[in-house]
Chains A and B, each alone.
Chain A
Amino acid sequence: MSYTSEMWKSIRKVEATRQRRLQETHPRMPPRGQEEILKRFHPDYVEGGMRELLVGPNRGDRTPNELADLLEGRSHIDAAAFDLERVDYECDILVIGGGGAGASAALLAQENGAQVILTTKLRFGDANTMMAQGGIQAADKPNDSPVIHYLDVMGGGHFTNVPELVEALVMDAPSVIQWLEDLGCIFDKEPEGTMKTIHGGGTSRKRMHFARDYSGAEIMRTLRDEVRNRQISVLEFAPVVELVMDDKGQVAGAILLNLETGDYSLVKAKTVIMATGGGGRLHYQGFPTTNHYGATADGLVLAYRVGAKLAFMDTMQYHPTGAACPEQILGQLVTEKVRGLGAQLVNVEGEQFVYPLETRDVEASAIIRECVERKKGVVTSTEQQGVWLDSPMIDILKGPGTIQTNLPAMVRQFGRFDIDMTKEPILIYPTLHYQNGGIAIKPDGSTDIPNLYVAGEVAGGVHGRNRLMGNSLLEITVYGRRAGKAAAQRAKEVELGELTLEHLQDWEQQLQEADLEPQIASPLLLPDYTRHTRPVSKVM
């Protein structure tokens, strides 16, 4: 049903070349070739996709248009009218975001003696963490070391990463796996206990630990359960719409919006940990995304408005393999683990055109080139282009049943649309996946703004210009823990002054000085996918 007759003709070619391809390894791209293909085909280099920011700490830096509009947006809050005398919640640490980074931070903050409130826009656990399928990197095998992991991370990020942040990432990795296991996270293992590990794009050792293809879900549901068991206060459907400062220039809390009633509330907090995740739902350049519904880059906007510097905001990660067919799951993630297990990428003629495990930016660019320049893509009934990911190879290479055992979520997802990926290849195309950059942090998760800590996808610098697979689940846990601990230490010594929203008035002034009259109020909070045939009533 999902595949057209033309697509089936192409599948026959894929099948015809499969036996031969099983013996073939497509050569890796040399460094110079990588640079060239990125410049010619990666969406980061598409002219008109980005613009310079006109205001704020990153004035003059380029970032996607959609994000620039939000960063230069107005506050939802009327600063002059908002009553800061009435404090609704008071705590040592306010964690903003209920994904893996926020949960990790909340746990460590509480362990270090802080009284914590975790607030989140949707449900606790509605986060990209939940959807991460592939795995988490840690150099814990005898043939591996944090040194080799370090080199892989730097190379993957094109040597732009902040060295101290990479060091923390790779050195903490094994102990983070241990921490997760102590909390009861399950990892796939050999019967005697050796962790099962595979390659990801750009890794030189098999260090991807996984839990079937529910790796992120397993981590998220365990961390969430632990937060609940420790009875940390969790506020759901309560996104932050503005940070609050004190008269000493420190971050001192936040204004929350109850998404269901429309009421605002005020939290006074000695420190704030920003863990709001990424911004895939801004659909840069019209790309579909793998991200969850709430991924609208709110944290960047909030931090930018209190003067925090952003890093690497001119680079986004497009995951090479988003679903391209059927239409109903367009852009949803097809985990890199499919290639890690041996599936090749092939064009309409059934021929390989790229080494399957290049770094994600290079791999995505090669797919775009194959479709756009070489016209060797496969076209669906809805005019979507893509190339084949030859999944049936996995069972041939590793034995029948391997796909079902290792990729149950993927089999289920395609099976719902009558595609059996154990027998037929699946069609893929790059999809907006990850925010490589974010708020600039130090190794303890702190920022240039007093009392503001940051962890997870909303942070920038760890991955430089390109993140490797399996370093995101690692980042959220490593930096969630670090930020939680550091913020708890800091909370012990903080003396807050008078609460103020003066920074919002300053912001308005900056907008005026830059001759900007933004119509947009930000943060965005949720994308709008609704269709209305007439203007909507204000009663709503």
Chain B
Amino acid sequence: MAEELIPIYIMGKKYEVPPSLTIMRAMEWAGYKLIRGAGCRSGFCGACATVYRIKGDYRLRIGLACQTVVEPEMYLAQIPFFPAEKAIYDIEELKPTPEQLFQIYPEILRCLSCGTCTKACPQEIDVMDYMADAMKGDIASVASKSFDCIMCGLCAARCPAEEAQANVALLCRRLYGKYLAPKSQHLWERIEEIGAGKFDEEVAKLKSMGEEELRQRYKERDIEPA
């Protein structure tokens, strides 16, 4: 069944498109071959950050072009790149402290707590909230609250204090993962066992085993209950 087309405005230019399409598919339907502004096409990579407004409404809205369905009278522009500050650091040399955070990204303390970033996040992350934690130097909290960030950069694009929230969050996650997360004893032990050659003989045996015997071993292997 043919769908009735709806008008959308791609960077101000009008196209008629089927209403069931995502913004990305609608652009392609209109004839755009995307180079920038398309990545994973599944909502994970942040390449297709899009800002739009509906005619007659002053409010700006945001969405990922690959995950947002078009609406009639939508005025849209993609923001596939934003020149946000990314500090260069040697993770081996860092300490997981508030001072370290402020030293690398001193602009953290410029945050106005206006909440524009939170409104701009297509992942519905409370960015302002984790930036408040960053100002307190609570690295673990920033790491956890920002975890679902896809680094699309819309927070930075909209921030009146010119922060690069996604990069601050990335630094916190790396500091947490490297220095603050509890260590896994079993991982260390296994690496030592492998280094000491504990499994070499048995793996060598499997490697040289004929297919029939290997199939039998596979069939007979015990399976850990769910």
Q: A222-B174, A409-B44 are in contact. Are A189 and B181 (CB under 8 A)?
A: yes
Do the beta carbons of A292 and B40 come within 8 Å of each other? yes
24 contacts between A and B (CB under 8 A): A140-B187, A140-B191, A142-B186, A151-B217, A183-B177, A189-B182, A191-B182, A195-B187, A204-B222, A205-B224, A214-B147, A218-B173, A222-B174, A222-B177, A292-B39, A292-B41, A292-B42, A293-B40, A328-B22, A328-B67, A328-B69, A342-B226, A413-B67, A526-B35
- Which A residues are within 8 Å of any B CB, using their own CB? 31, 122-123, 125-126, 128, 130-131, 138-143, 145-148, 150-152, 154-155, 159, 163-164, 167, 170-171, 174-175, 177-178, 181-187, 189-195, 199, 204-206, 211-212, 214, 216-218, 221-222, 225-226, 228-229, 231, 237, 259-260, 290, 292-293, 327-329, 332-333, 342, 408-409, 412-413, 416, 526, 528-532, 536
Interface residues of chain B, those whose CB is within 8 Å of chain A, are: 20-22, 25, 28-36, 38-45, 47, 67-69, 86, 88-91, 123-124, 143, 147-148, 150-151, 170, 173-178, 181-191, 194, 199, 202-203, 206-207, 211, 214-215, 217-219, 221-224, 226
Task: Give every chain A residue within 8 A of B226 (Cβ-Cβ).
Answer: 199, 342
Q: How far is the CB of B142 from chain A (nearest CB, A)?
A: 12
Return the contact of A184 from the options B176, B221, B224 (Cβ within 8 A).
B176
B152 to chain A, nearest CB (A): 11
Rounded to whole angstroms, the CA-CA distance of A327 and B39 in the bound complex is 19
* CA of A199 to CA of B226, assembled, Å: 7
Q: B154 to nearest A CB, angstroms?
A: 15
Q: Which of B90, B150, B151, B191 contacts A178 (CB 8 A)?
A: B191
| Count of CB-CB pairs between chains A and B under 8 Å | 223
- On whether the beta carbons of A528 and B176 are closer than 8 Å, the reply is no
Q: In the complex the two chains form, is A206's CB within 8 Å of B224's CB?
A: yes
A150–B203 CB distance below 8 A: yes
Question: Given the complex, which residues of A lie within 8 Å of B43, measured CB to CB?
Answer: 332, 409, 412-413, 416
Q: In whole Å, how far is B225's beta carbon from the nearest beta carbon of chain A?
A: 9
Q: Which residues of B contact A126 (CB under 8 A)?
A: 39-40, 45, 47
With A151-B217, A171-B199, A193-B183 as given contacts, are A328 and B20 in contact (CB-CB < 8 Å)?
yes
Return chain A residues, CB-CB under 8 Å to B194: 146, 171, 174-175
Q: Give every chain B residue within 8 A of A194 (Cβ-Cβ).
A: 184-186
Contact residue among B30, B35, B147 (Cβ-Cβ distance under 8 Å from A186)? B147
Taking a contact as CB atoms under 8 Å apart, the answer to whether A182 and B67 are in contact is: no
A254 to chain B, nearest CB (A): 20
Q: In the complex, which residues of chain A have a beta carbon less than 8 angstroms from the beta carbon of B22?
A: 328
